[in-house]
């Protein structure tokens, strides 16, 4: 079996050698560091099981892959794959010009040509493809593509990769190759920062319900800090206190009157070294125009309104002032920044190329996070033509289009918050286009709000992958987001007693989180639910404790068929478990 990271390196070196004799040879590199793939050495599209490389433009936005790709799998399979499920026009082009010439075979919605199943000779077959079929495809595209797609100016067409785009991506790959080399030589590697980007510990004294608490994180690898607690226990108070310190927020006069002895001390990660910070009342915050943290965004539970989409450039600039960045966390009903409006302003900027670069990445992030969203059409003028959100139906897998007003509240909440995060981090880290390179801290109160249980789990997983260098400090009332928690996640429980907030880190939950199910989490110290039994089951009998509803249906079917009433009947349980084990083999 092939190591795909090694295959990436060998294909890269092979193509670089080819370019010594043919400087016009260009190809696709992976564009984003999504899930830290570039840091790990995945220079081309794909994952642990395959590598995919293209030599032409044209993306299938339904599958988020180039339309024409050469694939090498970890089993040594080599084949050409053409997927044009996103466009009838591109499918017609392939049908007319490529199928017969390249000897493609229809395979579901794709076209395929297989070359080899021998993992020892994948480079030989790749070389043969470059010398034979690639040249044929180049000729057909050069001769017919321009005229064929001339009547479809807005179409994402199949053509040749511009040399400047190739060079730009290649520079990025070289930077990550250097990063990977340093990671192999050292325990840590840091990107350039002018301020800290991670929180390692925080002591807070005398803020609202907080008398004295000590929040310990410990490592930059602890990406997620989850905070639970009953309503009114002080979770929001804690999040606001954290935001006040990290954002250099000045306490108002009323807050100073109520909290004259407010004190905070923190340990922060700055260029791989621990930076210590202290603050007494408003000291160390006066005159600070930027947050203490390199990248900071903060959100309260209300995240549905983005009516700021008509802001002028001057008005929008005010929204990035330090004082305005706290609005969502501190005020109910605060409006979030509209990604539509931001795009409209970027397009009017002198450097329109910035818009085009960031559009790809923002669409990639949103389609990775929002359930069933496959593409976004940002109109030229969002005031006259609303943005179109394209979703894939989960029953017949066809696509449909919605505008913002038609979106469900859960989808709106997610798009609004992710859009606001991206806008604010782009403003704070202006040299970055790929959001996977953003660094900093995001605070979110009630991250589960408005979301279906599946989306509650997925948003944690997807934020982990799309923003791998961001540290998240979030509160939740639901155990479902915790199912998406990655390794090294931290869990705190907040309690309130006599108007005093206390926190407890739950190390035993951190140790066994991968083995626990929602019912275990609900009855653990995280949530403290005393019972999971329905009030209709007054005698607490006939309670099914299997892992899924599918298991329950099997249980009922077997129970009814055998006329057994007592679920505790040992013979019945043995029979049920035996049947279940056989079924699941």
Judged against a pLDDT cut of 60, whether residue 288 lies above it is answered with yes
What pLDDT score was predicted for residue 189? 39
The predicted-structure confidence for 356-380, as pLDDT tens digits, reads as follows 778 888 988 999 899 889 888 887 6
Tell me the mean pLDDT in the region 211-230: 92
DSSP for 447-485, please give it: TTTT--HHHHHHHHHHHHHHSTTEEEEEE-S-SGGGGG-
Tell me which H or E stretch contains 379.
Answer: none
The pair of structure tokens assigned to 537 is: 């089951």
DSSP secondary structure letter of residue 160 = B
In which band, very low, low, confident or very high, does the pLDDT at 186 lie, cut at 50, 70 and 90? very low
Neighbours of 88 (CB within 10 A): 9
Length of the chain: 585
In which band, very low, low, confident or very high, does the pLDDT at 190 lie, cut at 50, 70 and 90? very low
Judged against a pLDDT cut of 50, whether residue 191 lies above it is answered with no
Judged against a pLDDT cut of 80, whether residue 564 lies above it is answered with no
Q: Distance (Å, rounded) from C-alpha 453 to C-alpha 381?
A: 35
DSSP secondary structure letter of residue 336 = P
The predicted-structure confidence for 459-479, as pLDDT tens digits, reads as follows 999 999 999 999 999 999 999
Residue 513 vs residues 221, 350, 526: alpha-carbon distances, Å = 17, 50, 11
The predicted-structure confidence for 332-355, as pLDDT tens digits, reads as follows 878 888 887 777 777 766 666 777
- The SS3 assignment for 82 reads strand
pTM of the model: 0.79
Instruction: Kindly give the pairing relationship between strand 440-444 and strand 470-475.
Output: parallel
Residue 510 vs residues 73, 83, 388, 489, 525: alpha-carbon distances, Å = 36, 43, 41, 7, 12
The predicted-structure confidence for 244-276, as pLDDT tens digits, reads as follows 999 999 999 999 999 999 999 999 998 888 999
What pLDDT score was predicted for residue 386? 80
Tell me the mean pLDDT in the region 167-180: 87
The predicted-structure confidence for 402-442, as pLDDT tens digits, reads as follows 988 888 888 888 998 999 999 999 989 988 889 999 999 99
The pair of structure tokens assigned to 21 is: 């004799």
Q: Distance (Å, rounded) from C-alpha 429 to C-alpha 427?
A: 6
E-assigned strands of 258-317?
A: 263-270, 273-280, 296-299
Write a three-state SS string for 491-518.
EEEEEECCCCEEEEECHHHHHHHHHCCH
**Helix-, strand-, coil-residue percentages of the chain, each rounded to 5:** 40, 20, 40
Tell me which H or E stretch contains 528.
Answer: none
The pair of structure tokens assigned to 239 is: 């999040």
What pLDDT score was predicted for residue 556? 65
In which band, very low, low, confident or very high, does the pLDDT at 193 lie, cut at 50, 70 and 90? low
Q: Distance (Å, rounded) from C-alpha 456 to C-alpha 480?
A: 6
In which band, very low, low, confident or very high, does the pLDDT at 187 lie, cut at 50, 70 and 90? very low
What pLDDT score was predicted for residue 553? 67
Rg over CA atoms, the chain: 27
Whole-number percent of the chain with pLDDT over 70: 85
Q: Distance (Å, rounded) from C-alpha 530 to C-alpha 524?
A: 9
Place of tokens 């006040």: 244
Q: Which of 23, 6, 12, 46 is nearest to 126 (CA)?
A: 12
State the angle between helix axes of 409-428 and 352-369 in degrees (0 to 180), rounded to the nearest 10.
Answer: 140
Q: What is the mean pLDDT of the chain?
A: 85
The predicted-structure confidence for 505-562, as pLDDT tens digits, reads as follows 999 999 988 888 888 889 888 998 887 777 777 665 566 666 666 666 666 666 666 5
What pLDDT score was predicted for residue 181? 65
Task: Tell me the backbone φ, ψ of residue 531, rounded to 5 degrees.
Answer: -155, 145
Judged against a pLDDT cut of 50, whether residue 156 lies above it is answered with yes
The predicted-structure confidence for 95-127, as pLDDT tens digits, reads as follows 999 999 999 998 877 899 999 888 789 999 999
Q: Distance (Å, rounded) from C-alpha 168 to C-alpha 181?
A: 20
Judged against a pLDDT cut of 70, whether residue 51 lies above it is answered with yes
Between 114 and 309, name the one with better pLDDT: 114
Highest mean pLDDT among 324-328, 557-561, 577-581: 324-328
């Amino acid at each position: 079996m092939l190591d795909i990271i090694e295959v990436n390196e060998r294909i890269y070196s092979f193509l670089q050698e080819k370019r010594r004799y043919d400087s016009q040879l260009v190809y696709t590199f992976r564009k984003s560091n999504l899930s830290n793939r570039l840091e790990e050495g995945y220079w081309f599209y794909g994952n642990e099981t395959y590598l995919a490389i293209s030599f032409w433009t044209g993306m299938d936005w339904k599958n988020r892959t180039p339309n024409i790709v050469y694939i090498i799998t970890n089993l040594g399979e080599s084949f050409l794959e053409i997927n044009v499920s996103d466009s009838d026009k591109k499918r017609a082009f392939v049908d007319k010009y490529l199928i017969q010439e390249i000897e493609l075979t229809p395979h579901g919605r794709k076209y395929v040509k297989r070359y080899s199943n021998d993992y020892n000779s994948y480079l030989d077959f790749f070389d043969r493809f470059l010398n034979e079929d690639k040249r044929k495809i180049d000729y057909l595209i050069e001769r017919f593509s321009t005229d064929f797609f001339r009547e479809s100016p807005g179409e994402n067409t199949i053509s040749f990769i511009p040399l400047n785009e190739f060079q730009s991506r290649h520079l990025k790959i070289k930077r990550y190759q250097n990063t990977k080399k340093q990671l192999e030589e050292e325990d840590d590697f840091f990107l350039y920062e002018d301020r800290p980007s991670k929180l390692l510990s925080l002591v807070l004294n005398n803020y609202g319900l907080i008398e004295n608490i000590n929040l310990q994180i410990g490592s930059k690898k602890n990406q997620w800090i989850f905070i639970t607690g009953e309503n009114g226990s002080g979770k929001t108070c804690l999040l606001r206190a954290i935001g006040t310190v990290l954002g250099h927020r000045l306490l108002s006069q009323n807050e100073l009157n109520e909290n004259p002895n407010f004190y905070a001390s923190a340990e922060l990660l700055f260029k791989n070294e621990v930076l210590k910070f202290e603050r007494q009342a408003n000291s160390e915050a006066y005159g600070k125009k930027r947050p203490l943290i390199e990248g900071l965004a903060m959100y309260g539970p209300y995240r549905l309104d983005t009516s700021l989409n008509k802001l002028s450039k001057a008005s929008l600039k005010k929204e990035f002032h330090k004082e305005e960045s706290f609005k969502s966390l501190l005020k109910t009903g605060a409006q979030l920044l509209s990604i539509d409006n931001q795009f409209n302003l970027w397009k009017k900027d002198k450097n329109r190329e910035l818009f085009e670069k960031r559009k790809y990445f923002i669409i990639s992030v949103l389609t990775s996070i929002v359930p069933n969203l496959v593409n976004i059409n940002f109109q030229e003028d969002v005031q006259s033509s609303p943005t179109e959100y394209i979703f894939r139906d989960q029953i017949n897998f066809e696509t449909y289009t919605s505008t913002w007003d038609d979106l469900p509240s859960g989808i709106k909440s997610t798009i609004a918050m992710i859009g606001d995060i991206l806008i604010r981090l782009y403003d704070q880290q202006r040299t970055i286009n790929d959001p996977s390179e953003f660094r900093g801290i995001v605070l979110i109160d009630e991250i589960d709000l408005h979301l279906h249980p599946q989306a509650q789990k997925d948003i944690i997983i997807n934020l982990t992958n799309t923003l791998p260098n961001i540290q998240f400090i979030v509160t939740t009332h639901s155990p479902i987001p915790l199912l998406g928690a990655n390794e090294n996640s931290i869990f705190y429980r907040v309690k309130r007693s006599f108007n005093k907030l206390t926190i407890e880190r739950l190390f035993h939950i951190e140790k066994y989180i991968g083995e626990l199910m929602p019912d275990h989490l609900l009855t653990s110290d995280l949530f403290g639910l005393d019972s999971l039994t329905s009030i209709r089951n007054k005698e607490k009998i006939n309670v099914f404790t299997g892992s899924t509803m599918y298991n329950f249906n099997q249980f009922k079917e077997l129970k009814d068929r055998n006329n057994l009433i007592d679920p505790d009947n040992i013979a019945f349980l043995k029979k049920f478990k035996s049947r279940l084990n056989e079924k699941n083999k």
